[in-house]
Amino acid sequence: MKLQDNLILMANCNPQGVVEEIIYHKTREEPMLEPGESVFQKLPFENNNAERLQSVIDKRDRVFGFLLQTSAEGLDKQMVLHGFPIREGYLVMVEEDFYCGEDCQDSYSEIMKLNSKLTNAQREVAKKNQELKRMNEKLESIAVKDSLTGLFNRHGLQEKFEEGLKRCKRLDVKFSIAMVDFNRFKKVNDEFGHAAGDQLLKDFAGLAMEETRTGFDYAFRIGGDEFLFLFEDCSKEKAEEVIRRIEKKLKKYTSIVSLAFGALEVPLEGEPKLDKLLIRADEKMYEDKRKKYQR
What is the structure's pLDDT at 19?
Answer: 76
∠140-141-147 over CA atoms, to 5°?
Answer: 135
Residues of the chain with CATH 3.30.450: 3-131
First to last CA, the chain: 97
Q: What are phi and psi of 225, to 5 degrees?
A: -125, 30
pLDDT tens per residue across span 174-204: 999 999 999 999 999 999 999 999 999 999 9
Domain 3-131 top-level CATH class: alpha beta
pLDDT given for residue 156 in this prediction = 82
Residue 251 has pLDDT above 80, yes or no: yes
**What is the spatial distance between Cα 238 and Cα 245, in angstroms, rounded to a whole number?**
11
- Tell me the CA distances in angstroms from 117 to 2, 3, 60, 107, one per residue in order: 18, 16, 17, 15
Contact partners, residue 226, CB within 8 Å, separation at least 6: 179, 180, 181
pLDDT tier at 129, thresholds 50, 70, 90:
confident
Strand order in the sheet with 64-72: 19-25, 7-13, 90-97, 75-87, 64-72
Distance CA 178, CA 171 (A): 21
Q: Residue 78's pLDDT band (boundaries 50, 70, 90)?
A: very low
Quote the percentage of the chain above a pLDDT of 70.
62
Report d(CA 149, CA 176) in Å as an integer. Answer: 22
Render pLDDT for 265-291 as a digit per residue (tens, 0 to 9): 999 998 999 999 999 999 999 999 888
- Give the residue range(s) of CATH 3.30.70.270 domains in the chain: 154-294
- 3-28 residues labelled b (16+ CB within 10 A) or e (exposed): beebbbbbbbbeeebbbeebeebbee
Helices (H), the chain: 3-6, 39-42, 49-59, 102-144, 157-171, 185-192, 194-211, 236-250, 274-294
Question: What pLDDT digit, counting tens, does each position of 32-52 carry?
Answer: 778 888 766 665 555 555 565
Please state, rounded to an integer, the average pLDDT across all residues of the chain: 76
Please tell me the least confidently modeled range out of 22-31, 162-171, 179-188: 22-31
pTM here is 0.54
- Average pLDDT estimate for 214-228: 92
Tally of CB atoms within 10 A around 163? 13
Tell me the backbone φ, ψ of residue 224, rounded to 5 degrees.
-55, -65
pLDDT score recorded for residue 64: 36
| CA distances in angstroms from 192 to 23, 188, 199, 200, listed in the order given | 70, 6, 11, 11
Fold of the CATH domain 154-294? Alpha-Beta Plaits (3.30.70)
Residue 15 has pLDDT above 90, yes or no: no
C-alpha dihedral (264, 150, 206, 293), degrees to nearest 10: -50
